[in-house]
Chain A
Amino acid sequence: MMAAASAVALVLVGVLVFLAVNGGPAVTAGEGELPAHAKNFLALAGPLAFGSLWVAVIALALASLPAVGVALAATIYAPSPRFGRFLGAVLDLLAAVPSVVFGLWGLMVLAPAVVPGYEWAHAHLGWLPFFSGEPSVTGRTVLTAGMVVAVMILPIMAAICRESFALTPPALIEAAYALGATRWEMVRAAVLPVARSGIVAGGMLGLGRALGETMAVAMVLSATPSLISFNVISAENPSTIAAFIASTFPESTGAEVSALIGLGLVLFAISLVVSLVGRRIAKQGGLR
């Protein structure tokens, strides 16, 4: 038993050591040794880290309100406990759909379907940097990738929100109603203040998950790895660390592989920070 517990901890140490040993040399690698014709490791990792954060932030922005809403629907607004359980099952199922399936769906179904919307956004909101420039004709843009990732992180965020809404003391709900609150006023007075840390924690965990999401982004996004751009509907899109690794790794050898492992370490560090912060907030909020 003790050996098993030690083994679990050792697996983690092993992961870090293997990654460091193999990826470490990439940090000093020069031009010609790196994928995507990068001059040095920073020039490779920088734009990709930007892309990872950019896609994850878009996904988080898109998923936050629906996640809170659906969690409210499953708890406070549920017309019956059965409906709440049914909605829980839907969320579980959504969380269980493999990312490669979401990727396939995103690029073959969603992307073509959103192109007219992008053209409209470019025509009417083109003055915003997000929608300037010629929109993509394939729809395989940062925004589409963000949408797909949003669908994927929504159930994770909703699950944590749901848990914290369910912890609202019934006495506070009654107190608000008895003062003549409408349902929404009751939610604002009794439910949301208590659940605030749960909502933030859910967002952080969702963000961590979005950063690590690989296949859906790799498949949906038509990417230019060295690009940094805030345009979300263009044919030219930044890539993400995870997607870049997945699409480049199978054809890479030697120093390139080492660079990709180094990128993996960077991704690990970013998502570790995000989810540890999220977990700390969740614990403060009385969640497990």
Chain B
Amino acid sequence: MTATLTRQAPQHAPDAAATLAASTPSWSRRAKNRAASAAVVAAVALTAVPLALVIWAAVERGSARLDLTLFTHSMRGVVGQGGGLLHALTGTLIITGATAIISIPLGLAAAIYLTEYAGGNKLAAITRRAVDIMVSIPSIVAGLAAYALFSLILGPGTRSGLAGAVALAMIMIPVVVRSSEEVLRLVPADLREAGLALGSPRWRVIRKIVLPTALPGLTAGAVLGVARVIGETAPLLLVAGFTDAMNYNLADGRMATLPVFIYTQWSSKGLDTAAYDQRAWAGALVLMAVVVVLQLAARALPPQIAKLRRNR
């Protein structure tokens, strides 16, 4: 170190290799650095391993029942082996479809209002705050609210697919509003101005310019919203209930869904427990496949929506 201490007397070239070696970080600094890197790798493992284990468990335990019967039969009259989830899959499609029909137009319209019309007015501020709060509603509370609503109208104890759809819509609407608002904000302002400068009325500019430009992003947001609610279990357990048989009528009676099917196969087993467990895992495998397909679809759409995925 002396060489670096006496700077103004360069009688000889300092032993540079030695000073370089002396400034090599100390053992403890290097150890800390390595420990941090190892911790980061461990964190990646802690993220990836559970995911791999869950997927593996579903494949390993669910593939035993991944047969044709699973997709062509309901659970009507089944007490042991056999049976399928056709009724649950149908119910999930119907309820999720109804949810989308309620949520997407409402959510999109609210987002258009917020970005294109409202500016900073009071209603916009209230709506944004409402969306913030709705995002934090626990899903089971949405189920309770839907139950309470339908009890007020139809009397206590009613269960229906429609009530399930309403519950899921409470979860999906804020997701759609947020993602749509974000996508609409990405549409460059000069596109709007160009349209307005041509003398088109505002709604025309929105319909002919803004919405087509934003369409891929809006679609992706909607798909992610569907992916968010399609795996919801708790609210459907409360308000759509469960049944072993097919039910195509949203408004009348209990309707099975895939997540609730998985839950009830486990929670109310018959004597042949292995058959129930296998069906539960087969249901889990199908449900995960559906979710993965939806995720991939949303991901394949536009490149600029990376941030939207956080709105879950």
Any A–B CB pair closer than 8 Å: yes
For A67, list chain B residues within 8 Å (CB): 43
For A101, list chain B residues within 8 Å (CB): 54, 58, 231, 262, 284, 287-288
Q: Are B40 and A72 neighbours in the complex by a CB distance under 8 Å?
A: yes
Bound state CA distance, A184 and B156, in angstroms? 60
Which residue of chain A is the closest to B135 with respect to CB atoms?
A275
Q: Are B139 and A9 neighbours in the complex by a CB distance under 8 Å?
A: no
Bound state CA distance, A212 and B140, in angstroms? 7
Q: Is B177 an interface residue (CB 8 A)?
A: yes
For A260, list chain B residues within 8 Å (CB): 144
Bound state CA distance, A97 and B144, in angstroms? 23
Residue in B51, B145, B234 whose CB lies within 8 Å of A18: B145
Q: Is B280 an interface residue (CB 8 A)?
A: yes
Residue in A23, A70, A155, A245 whose CB lies within 8 Å of B44: A70
Bound state CA distance, A218 and B25, in angstroms? 51
Bound state CA distance, A268 and B37, in angstroms? 39
What 0/1 pattern do residues 105 to 118 of A give for CB contact below 8 A with B? Answer: 10111000000000
Q: Are B40 and A8 neighbours in the complex by a CB distance under 8 Å?
A: no
Bound state CA distance, A184 and B28, in angstroms? 12
Q: Is B309 an interface residue (CB 8 A)?
A: yes
Bound state CA distance, A268 and B140, in angstroms? 10
Bound state CA distance, A72 and B227, in angstroms? 27
Q: Is A172 an interface residue (CB 8 A)?
A: no
Q: Are A94 and B43 neighbours in the complex by a CB distance under 8 Å?
A: no
Most B Cβ at <10 Å: residue of A97, A154, A245, A254: A97
Min CB distance B136 to A, Å, is: 4
Q: Are B138 and A104 neighbours in the complex by a CB distance under 8 Å?
A: no
Q: Are B109 and A4 neighbours in the complex by a CB distance under 8 Å?
A: yes
- Interface size for B (C-beta < 8 A) is 97
Which residue of chain B is the closest to A63 with respect to CB atoms?
B46
Q: Is A174 an interface residue (CB 8 A)?
A: no
A64-81 contacts to B, CB under 8 A, are 65-70, 72-73, 77
Q: Are A103 and B138 neighbours in the complex by a CB distance under 8 Å?
A: no
What 0/1 pattern do residues 24 to 41 of B give for CB contact below 8 A with A? Answer: 010001101101110111
Bound state CA distance, A93 and B263, in angstroms? 21
Residue in B30, B39, B136 whose CB lies within 8 Å of A182: B30
B225-273 contacts to A, CB under 8 A, are 227, 230-234, 237-238, 241, 259-260, 262-263, 266-267
Q: Select the stretch in B5-13, B67-75, B147-155, B188-196 that faces chain A.
A: B147-155
A1-27 contacts to B, CB under 8 A, are 1-9, 11-12, 14-15, 18-19, 21-23
Q: Is A183 an interface residue (CB 8 A)?
A: yes
Q: A66-B43, A268-B138 are in contact. Are A246 and B234 (CB under 8 A)?
A: yes
Residue in B37, B144, B263 whose CB lies within 8 Å of A77: B37
Q: Are B145 and A158 neighbours in the complex by a CB distance under 8 Å?
A: no
Bound state CA distance, A15 and B146, in angstroms? 8
Bound state CA distance, A99 and B227, in angstroms? 13
Min CB distance A191 to B, Å, is: 11
Q: Is B110 an interface residue (CB 8 A)?
A: yes
Residue in B112, B141, B284, B292 whose CB lies within 8 Å of A268: B141
Q: Are B123 and A2 neighbours in the complex by a CB distance under 8 Å?
A: yes
For B48, list chain A residues within 8 Å (CB): 90
Min CB distance B167 to A, Å, is: 10
Residue in B131, B138, B231, B280 whose CB lies within 8 Å of A98: B231
For B35, list chain A residues within 8 Å (CB): 184
CB-CB nearest 9 A-B residue pairs: A69-B43, A98-B231, A212-B138, A4-B109, A18-B148, A184-B36, A1-B113, A275-B136, A182-B33
Q: Are B241 and A250 neighbours in the complex by a CB distance under 8 Å?
A: yes
For B127, list chain A residues within 8 Å (CB): 5-6, 8-9
For A245, list chain B residues within 8 Å (CB): 140, 144, 234, 238
Q: Is B2 an interface residue (CB 8 A)?
A: no
Bound state CA distance, A174 and B50, in angstroms? 35
For A108, list chain B residues within 8 Å (CB): 57, 61, 277
Q: Given known contacts A154-B47, A250-B238, what 7 new A-B pairs fall within 8 Å (CB)? A: A1-B110, A8-B131, A11-B134, A22-B151, A22-B152, A101-B284, A212-B138
Q: Are A180 and B292 neighbours in the complex by a CB distance under 8 Å?
A: no
Q: Are B259 and A98 neighbours in the complex by a CB distance under 8 Å?
A: yes
Q: Are A208 and B136 neighbours in the complex by a CB distance under 8 Å?
A: yes
Q: Are B113 and A100 neighbours in the complex by a CB distance under 8 Å?
A: no
For A189, list chain B residues within 8 Å (CB): none
Q: A15-B170, A103-B263 are in contact. Are A97 and B288 (CB under 8 A)?
A: yes
Q: Are A96 and B292 neighbours in the complex by a CB distance under 8 Å?
A: yes
Q: Are B266 and A98 neighbours in the complex by a CB distance under 8 Å?
A: no
Q: Are B130 and A12 neighbours in the complex by a CB distance under 8 Å?
A: yes
B94-124 contacts to A, CB under 8 A, are 105-107, 109-110, 112-114, 116-118, 123-124
Q: Is A264 an interface residue (CB 8 A)?
A: yes
Which residue of chain A is the closest to B54 with respect to CB atoms?
A105
Q: Is B63 an interface residue (CB 8 A)?
A: no
Q: A214-B233, A245-B140 are in contact. Are A69 and B295 (CB under 8 A)?
A: no
Q: Are B295 and A92 neighbours in the complex by a CB distance under 8 Å?
A: yes
For B44, list chain A residues within 8 Å (CB): 69-70, 73, 87
Min CB distance A134 to B, Å, is: 26
Q: A215-B234, A250-B237 are in contact. Are A66 and B134 (CB under 8 A)?
A: no
